[in-house]
Amino acid sequence: MLHHPTHLSRRGLLAGGLGGLAVLATGCDAVGDVLGGEEGPGTSGAVSPTAPAADADGVLVEEAAAAIAATAALAAATGAAVPALDRIGRRLSRLHDAHARELGWSDTAERPSVTGGRAAALRRLQKAEARLQDHLAAAALEAESGALAQVLASMAAAVAQQRAVLS
């Protein structure tokens, strides 16, 4: 059975075009609002995840960055204390350090003491990574800023991916 394509009338095309222009104009206004006003020369139009956040978001950033730094310290300490986990510890520590820097955090957490064998150290690291992932996901849901929510959710996803490799 042959189906004939539906022909678009000029009115339909014109209405669709005007609707598309309205959506584009509204979208540009929304981006301008997120960026804090009019775009000037040199403004790329991208939303910066580390732009100054609202007070509530500032607290979220500090808490998330502190949790990331603490988990990075544990990962580094685990790798240093258990040679079999050195590669995993360094990889996780680098990931967390990059995330902390993205959030503007420069303080380093004190390295905890890692005792026990490989299995115990790995379990402790896995639990810490799970807590961090949960913390980042919850912070992403609480964030007032959409850009910050995206950054935190992306960080939670990166931790989840690394946890999958650990298992």
79's CB contacts (< 8 A; 6+ apart) are: 85, 86, 87, 88, 89, 90, 93
- Helix or strand run (H / E) with residue 32: helix 10-35
- CATH 1.20.1260 fits domain 55-166: yes
Residues 133-162: pLDDT tens digits? Answer: 999 999 999 999 999 999 999 999 999 999
> Is residue 120 predicted with pLDDT exceeding 80?
yes
pTM more than 0.75? no
